[in-house]
Structure 1
Amino acid sequence: MRWTGFSLNFLWRTPARSDRLCLVDTTLAITYHEHGKPADVLRLEERPLPEVGPQEVKIKLLKAVINPSDFGMVLGSYGKLAELPAVGGREGVAEVIEVGSEVTHLRAGDRIRFPENAGVWQTAAVVPAKDVWKVPADVDLDLAAMAWVNPPTAWRILRDANIHEGSWIVQNAANSAVGLFTIQMAKYLGLRTLNVVRREELIEPLKGYGADVVVTEDSGYEKQVKALTDGGEVTLAFNSVGGESAIRLVKALSRGGTHITFGAMTFEAVRWPTRYLIFNDICLKGFWLDRWYRDNSPERIQVMFDNLFNLMRTGVISAPVSATYKIQDFAQALEASTSPKLGKVLLEP
């Protein structure tokens, strides 16, 4: 992100009763009342919780994740925005602590996805029971918190591309969460990966996750693809960076390959190399998980998560955690999340 370098001069609204965080009548939330740079507009607030209605549940946060799209929502640049004032955060896992009188499919103690619409960066919430997705108790807690954005993004792009076993994938930002899940899922599906990173020190860790080939952005890899893949066909490219990095992926694709953009970390414009589109018949597409969720039935979404949870519990996919911070220390957490790292930064109550 371009606005790195937090000064820690966040707008703090100190909770009047911070000693009552263990109770469930209030929530400690990271909020924003206007769009802007997170360092300027995020603040910590204590808010009262409403009574639990007949079709609602009260939940407490277990772990929350900091994702690039969270910053896009705060900045006001994301594809969908919350109504202001809003609580930050889109992804996390919670525990049900109270159930409404008409709720029959949930009970206290159930582990669930913290509903995105409520804003996840808060210690507790009262939410509609219909918005809750259950999480198996035997899935690692950190993985359960990270289950809702990056694993399904990698899984959907891989599965919906309909590429055959033995094909090669090339991806930039291969050390990102999506990148690491893509490496592991591709291996599981019989696919091979050519992975692009910016720092040499990431090469060996990525190989430890099953990466076949790891190169740096400035290595000229796009001119060496045949040698790097032993003549293999590179049929799919994952782009989450943009700019020149995205163009190099286009050049690395084999004839008829597909280039899928699902992020733009650098915010740099891309001037597509037209000759590759014409003479190599490259297909440019986009993917947005939010739209996929809207376009598919709850039954199909559940099937996908059943598959993903099984991959997690059997150890096929895993993910490192760079650091975990208390919600009260959110300024340091957001600073850490924009620094070079391998693994997500998490928040906890």
Structure 2
Amino acid sequence: MSKIATKGWRYARSGPIGSTLKLEKFDLAVGKDDVVVKMQYAPLHRVDAAIVNGSALGRTKNAKPFPRIGGSEGVGTVVRSGNSTSVKEGDTVWVAPLQGTWSETITADSALVHKIDPKNAALAATASNFIVAQQLLDGVQKSGVVVQNGGSSLTALAVALLAKERGLTLFSTASKGDRYAQADARLKSAGSQTFEYSPAGARSLKAALAGKNVNRFLNGVGGNNFNEFVKLVGNNGEVVTFGAQNGFGLMWAGSNQIYKQLTLRGFYLPRYLRDTSYEVRQSTLDAVLKSISASGAAGKYPTEQVKLEALPTVWDKTFVQGGSKGIIQF
């Protein structure tokens, strides 16, 4: 087994990201089946903090032994292809979650490394957000009505752009605060009207629906506000939860679920990616990148690009404040 010298953010135990993650120089062990990737871009996702913390949605069966590299997704160039038959040295690739990408050079499972056009490198850095959006809208019939919660996130923008492309009617909700005005403007440009995430906002949305029922509610995290909005979901409708990462239960009134026979289901991207074939993931990625490019999504969401050493400067904005995406540019 050979080794490659590199530098990156690693953690030797699970715990708060601010105290466990350390910038280190280390030797990377390379197995014969590993693909070695020199990183170009690696985003900071909320799930990255959950992975370092070891909380429920951050756990993965295939986790590497400690110490582990932080991060989960990114784009880079193949420097060693190992036994891969899908990529070769020099290829620009998307490294699918959950691999550990906050390092100048990484090793990755060849089954989770996908070739992309080099011109799409920057777009593909956050491809997972758009793959999530695609799956969240999968199965909604044209002319269907969808409501999404958490309108200030990149995933929300991705959902809005894709819904517009598919001819769906999408309404978004967001909590009033510093990020509301920016989220409202972004989503409006993508064809989605935004409502305050409150009982008053639910009443305003009901009026805007003009008697139509909601077919699917996205990012249902429970609570009093959620209960007001779920009343607008029609018979046999769906509620999808994918953003409840705080470890608490989803509290919601059962009467609507029972009477309307609503379906509550969860979606977790790493499991979806793990359970799909390489060919399906590749075709999904290709379709997503084509959609991102066609929609003009690039530049619509605030990002802060930093060098590897400056990663901590964007932690709070990404993991606490939200409303922007931190991206390491190597």
Instruction: Report the TM-score, using the length of structure 1 for normalisation.
Output: 0.83
1:44 counterpart (7, 14, 23):
23
Q: CA deviation at 1:138?
A: 2.9
SS of 1:346's equivalent in the other structure is strand
Partners of 2:245 and 2:231 in 1: CA distance: 20
Structure 1 contact 337–345 (Cα < 8 Å) conserved:
yes
1:157 counterpart (136, 143, 149):
136
What does residue range 85-124 of structure 1 map to in structure 2 within 5 Å?
Answer: 85-100=67-82, 105-114=86-95, 116=97, 118-124=99-105
2:125 alignment partner in structure 1: 145
Deviations 1:169-196 (A, max 9, x none): 1111012121111111011111011100
Structure 2 contact 74–126 (Cα < 8 Å) conserved:
yes
- Amino acid aligned to 1:76: G
- 1:72 and 2:50 are equivalent in the alignment: yes
1:259 alignment partner in structure 2: 239
Partners of 1:295 and 1:130 in 2: CA distance: 12
2:185 alignment partner in structure 1: 204
1:31 alignment partner in structure 2: 10
Q: CA deviation at 1:116?
A: 4.0
Partners of 1:247 and 1:311 in 2: CA distance: 33
Q: Residues 330 and 75 of structure 1: is their aligned pair in 2 closer, same or farther, counting only changes over 3 Å?
A: same
Q: Residues 116 and 284 of structure 1: is their aligned pair in 2 closer, same or farther, counting only changes over 3 Å?
A: closer
Partners of 1:341 and 1:184 in 2: CA distance: 20
SS of 1:215's equivalent in the other structure is strand
- Amino acid aligned to 1:88: G
Structure 2 contact 318–324 (Cα < 8 Å) conserved:
no
Structure 1 contact 27–47 (Cα < 8 Å) conserved:
yes
Q: CA deviation at 1:244?
A: 3.4
1:345 counterpart (298, 302, 326):
326
SS of 1:203's equivalent in the other structure is helix
Partners of 2:131 and 2:25 in 1: CA distance: 33
Question: Superposition RMSD on alpha carbons, in Å?
Answer: 2.4
- Amino acid aligned to 1:60: K
Partners of 2:160 and 2:152 in 1: CA distance: 10
Instruction: Report the TM-score, using the length of structure 2 for normalisation.
Output: 0.87
2:289 alignment partner in structure 1: 309
- 1:173 and 2:150 are equivalent in the alignment: yes
1:221 alignment partner in structure 2: 201
Where does structure 2 lack aligned partners over 5 or more consecutive residues?
A: none
Partners of 2:320 and 2:133 in 1: CA distance: 23
1:288 alignment partner in structure 2: 268
- Amino acid aligned to 1:305: L
Structure 1 contact 91–116 (Cα < 8 Å) conserved:
yes
Structure 1 contact 173–240 (Cα < 8 Å) conserved:
no
- Amino acid aligned to 1:134: K
Partners of 1:237 and 1:323 in 2: CA distance: 30
Q: CA deviation at 1:157?
A: 1.9
Structure 2 contact 73–99 (Cα < 8 Å) conserved:
no
- Amino acid aligned to 2:240: I
- 1:335 and 2:316 are equivalent in the alignment: yes
1:5 alignment partner in structure 2: none
Q: CA deviation at 1:322?
A: 2.3
Q: Residues 219 and 207 of structure 1: is their aligned pair in 2 closer, same or farther, counting only changes over 3 Å?
A: farther
Q: Residues 317 and 241 of structure 1: is their aligned pair in 2 closer, same or farther, counting only changes over 3 Å?
A: farther
